[in-house]
Every structure is written in structure tokens, then in C-alpha cells.
Amino acid sequence: MNRKKFTGFLVILISAIVGGIYIYRQGIISLPQPKPNLSDIKNITDANNQFAFDYYSKLASKEKDNIFFSPFSISAAFVMTYEGAKGQTADQIRSVFYFPDDLNIVRAEYASFFSEINKKDKKYELNSANALWAQQDYKFSKDYFENVEKYYGGKATNLDFRKNPEGSASTINKWVENQTKNKIKNLISPDAINEDTKLILTNAVYFKGEWIKKFNKKDTKEEDFRTVNDGTIKTQMMRLTDDEAVFNYGENINLQILEMAYSGNDLSALFILPKNDDLTKLESLISNKNLSDWKKDMGKQRVKVYIPRFKFETTYTMGEDLINMGMSIAFSDSADFSGMTASGKKELKIDEAIHKAFVEVNEEGTEAAAATGIMMQMTSAPPKEIEIPVFRADHPFLFIIQHKSTGNILFIGRVVNPNL
């Protein structure tokens, strides 16, 4: 990537699924929006999900280990840059992230979904926060800052990157730590900030959910897990095999798919397990359309479930990937972010984009404190001799955490080694 001296800005993307027993209180976006009609956010849902599979494919083509990221967090950060982009720069961002052509649709749908995510009185924790950090003596467009705050909840804070990079990095890092319950620390090194840094945009996503049907810790036992290179490791395998293990389930010749809902029933996790240990085949099939088709074929039934406990974190430097995906101008000296500047001049470009994520899945959900669960029971029917499907995730698999009513993919990843 071209690193020559140039007035630029750094986009920082942070997302985390984090556990704990704390109540999330800080950084929640407060938008003066009416109650969202979730049927009206189909455009950004389709856009987000298409980007999710594009970027997953990009990572899968070069990463050998576990993968985990939040396409929603990345899209939410870049929609703030899209607000200030013009010409071909805007065209390329729109193409990579599949944003609708009409900016008013983008604004309205993101505002509605942010309001849904940050609603109060939920049985789970899901919040998204945006923040802008601006060089104090650089003149930005007032309209740009007002629009970002109005539609995406991102308030601007003035810092002095040039004279106080250490203090600026510390301020931003503390904000990140607060949003992620201290799971992500020291995100920005003072060395990453220089006299040309004018704006840093941050997005954080926090999620904590408990399974409606929890695993019993007493049933978790050490079992073999087959890795991608025909190896075998020992891992702690959770299990749900009783009569109440009723889930949304489906399968075809290539895969099994299982949905486990979180308390509140607004969010759920999809576990997608390739048959014949063929992870490569599954990854070649995963797409927005195919996932939609697989979900349509799912139905409620009893399933014997075996899923390993897993916990890992990831860091992705996204600049080169986004350039290769078709967004080269935004990172070049030809970038047009004149919608951000008070002068209307082309003075800004993206320096780098960083995405960090953390996930932990266990018997309770995401290492959350215990809470009342809703027990799902089979409907009464005459006893039949039927074969109960077994969902045994003892080899690499994909998982998705989605907003159920819209299908918006909040997080996506794969587990090739649950012990990493």
C-alpha cells in the first residue's frame, strides 16, 4: 500500500462478542427515530450479507486458522466514510459494500437498524456504538459531522494527533476498552498516528446472549476433534441430547445446519457443518442466496447436538483486501472525500482499516451470567420410531450470529481448531 506522506485518515473497525456478568451501560447510540419497521431495512440487510460472504471468501482464501469478524461492524464504519465520499471514490465504496444508490435509503435503514440494536429492555445484550475522532485544528464539514451523528450516532471528539499522539491513542483506546468490556486493549499504537492523521472513525459492537436451551456443564466431555490436515485434537464437547433438544434443523447432501436461539428470540446462532469433512466445498457454496435457501428448508425437530466450547480472537488489517476487492481509489492520493472537508477539497484518503473481534461460546451462551431460559418442548404426538438426526461438530464448521427477523448477519466465522 502507498505509504507516502499525505493528509489522510485512519478507519478503525472494532467488534466483539464478549462475555461477563456486567450490564452494558456506556456508548449506546441514542437516535431520535420512530420505532423501526424492520421490514423496511431489506436493502442494507442484503448489502451487509453480500459483503459478509465476499469478505469471508477473501479471508478463507488466505487464512489457515479460525476466522471471525462482524460484517455489520465493518459496514457500519464504512457507511460513515461513504457519507463523505464523492465521485468514483463513492462508486467503489458502494460497489464493495453493496450500498443502495439512494443515500436517503442508506441513512433511513441504518438509522432504523441502529435503533433496533440499541433498544432497551432486551433479554440479551446487543449494542453498537460509533465515534469520530478529529484533528482539532482541521476544518471539517459541519454538515458531514451532523449527518453522521443524526443517522449513525457517531459524535465527533476533537483530539490533537499532531502534538499529542500518545494522549490521542490513549483516549481512543479507553473508548474501545469501554465498548468491549476490556476485551480489546491498546488497539491503536501512538506510532500509528502521525502529523497527517486527520480523522479516526471507530465502530464497536457488543453482544452477550444466553441460549434459550442451555447445555449442562456436567454433560461436557473431552472428545476428539478432526482438524483440516487430517489431524486430531482433544476438545471439550458440549452436548444436548434429551427430549427437549428441539431446534430448527435442516440438511442436504453437502451440509447440516442447526439454529440455536438466544433468550429473547430476536437473535440466533447458525452452525453449518460440512458433510464428509469437506470444508472447502462448503466454503465454495456459502452465499447469501444459498443460505436463504438452506434456511427455508429448515424445520423444528429433535436433534442430538454436540458442539465444542471455543474461544478465540482475531485481528485483520483490511486495507490490501479492500483494495483488491475493488476499493483502490479510497486508499490512494486520488481519493475524493471532499464531502468531509469544510473547503470541499480532495484532501483526505484512507490510510488503513483495522478490524478486531473476540468470541467465546460455552454452555450458557457467550459466557454470560445465568438467567431464566425458555424451555422448548415437542408438541404432543403419537410415538413413532423415527431416527433422530445427530449434529456432531467434531470437525471444522462455520457459524453465523444473525438478527432473526431480518436475517442481518451480525457476526460470521469458522472454527477449524476450538482450542486456539
Higher pLDDT, 414 or 228: 414
Residue range 59-64: average pLDDT? Answer: 94
pLDDT in tens, 180-227: 777 777 777 788 788 888 998 888 888 889 999 999 999 999 999 999
Q: In terms of domains, do 336 and 245 share one? A: no
pLDDT at 207: 87
Cell of 273: 457443518
> Using CA atoms, how far apart are residues 142 and 341, in angstroms rounded to an integer?
8
Q: Which CATH number covers residue 186?
A: 3.30.497.10
pLDDT at 15: 37
pLDDT at 37: 59
Cell of 420: 486456539
Q: Does 366 map to a domain?
A: no
Q: Which CATH number covers residue 261?
A: 2.30.39.10
Q: Does 420 map to a domain?
A: no
Q: In terms of domains, do 181 and 257 share one? A: no
Enter the pTM of the model: 0.87
Q: Does 300 map to a domain?
A: yes
**Considering its fold, how many domains does the chain have in total?**
2
Q: In terms of domains, do 294 and 150 share one? A: no
Q: In terms of domains, do 222 and 272 share one? A: yes
Range of the domain at 383: 217-308+373-415
pLDDT at 178: 85
Evaluate if residue 123 carries a pLDDT over 50. yes
The total number of residues shown for the chain amounts to: 420
pLDDT in tens, 151-173: 999 999 999 999 999 999 899 88
pLDDT at 235: 97
> Using CA atoms, how far apart are residues 42 and 292, in angstroms rounded to an integer?
13
Q: Does 365 map to a domain?
A: no
Cell of 46: 442484503
Evaluate if residue 403 carries a pLDDT over 90. yes
For the chain, how many helices (H) and strands (E)? 9, 18
Question: How far is the first Cα of the chain from the last one, in angstroms, to the nearest whole number?
Answer: 30
CA distances for 389 relative to 69, 172, 256, 392, angstroms:
30, 49, 10, 9
Q: In terms of domains, do 71 and 123 share one? A: yes
Q: Does 302 map to a domain?
A: yes
